[in-house]
Amino acid sequence: MLVNTRQMLANARKNQYAIPQPNVWDVNSIRAALKASKEVQSPVIIGLAQAHLQYIGIEEVAMLANYYGNKFNVQYALHLDHGNDYHTIIKAIKFGFSSVMIDASTLPYEENVYLVKEIVKVAHACDVTVEAELGHVGSENSNSEINGSSQSVLTEPDEAEDFVKQTNVDSLAIAIGTVHGKYRGKPNIDIDRLEKIAKKVSIPLVLHGGSGTGENSLKKCIKLGISKINICTDLMVAATEGIKESLKTTDNFGDINLVAEAAIKECLTKYYKMFNCLNRI
């Protein structure tokens, strides 16, 4: 059943577990995510990053996710991840996405607030939930003292409180030291900062860059209010490693894709267990 993330994430925060948001990029990754959800009997948030529209379209993901979501009879949200322009976000809503992220985190604070408020007005009118980002989670492709990312700007607790009040956003992605992609060094997660934010912000908190962050750190984050964790890199790595191994015994493209799908499902299932997200439907 397709739902938005409002009650899904509220339940997760209240009961101290996190729902994974696997990013998808083709039919096999979509099917793997929904199969994992079925296996563990817990919700899933199917995430399509705007950057991945080069691999698959909004319409395609909507049709495939709805088909397999209904076939496997699971509770799922369809989420546009890191939407960074009005047209793409509205298109996602038009084609049935139940949740969207407006990522204006690299803009000045007041511009971020303004753009999020505009998206919230439209999305809420359509019963679509909205995620925004305050602070900025950078990537592994740059250099700095913050986990290899000069693009990272950590979230300020007082700003987070004001931001939520002004925008009426449904969930907030925060920057506490994670990165998108692979870490260059050892992750250094600012747990104290998270604890301060969680005391000031009552809505569900989101952690981007879950891949490679480590089980202990992620479990601490979940206890302190992180209710949704995005996973992409580890899923892609699992698929790639599965393909490499299968190429030793077959050159059948169809079989290779199924191996990749199974590897994605296995990787995601491990995260469900790590996030204390089993039998949550």
Residue with tokens 């039998």: 279
* C-alpha span between 221 and 194 (Å, rounded): 7
Contact 78, 60 (CB under 8 A): no
Residue 76, pLDDT score: 98
Look up 234 and say whether it is catalytic: no
Residue 63, pLDDT score: 98
Look up the pTM and report it.
Answer: 0.93
Q: What is the 3-state secondary structure (H, E, C) of 28-63?
A: HHHHHHHHHHHHHCCCEEEEEEHHHHHCCCHHHHHH
Catalytic residue among 26, 81, 103, 170: 81
The tokens of 200 are what? 């000031």
Q: What is the pLDDT along the chain (281 residues), one digit of tens a residue?
A: 999 999 999 999 999 999 999 999 999 999 999 999 999 999 999 999 999 999 999 999 999 999 999 999 999 999 999 999 999 999 999 999 999 999 999 999 999 999 999 999 999 999 999 999 999 887 664 333 333 334 568 999 999 999 999 999 999 999 997 777 765 656 778 999 999 999 999 999 999 988 877 788 999 999 999 999 999 999 999 999 999 999 999 999 999 999 999 999 999 999 999 999 999 98
Residue 185, pLDDT score: 57
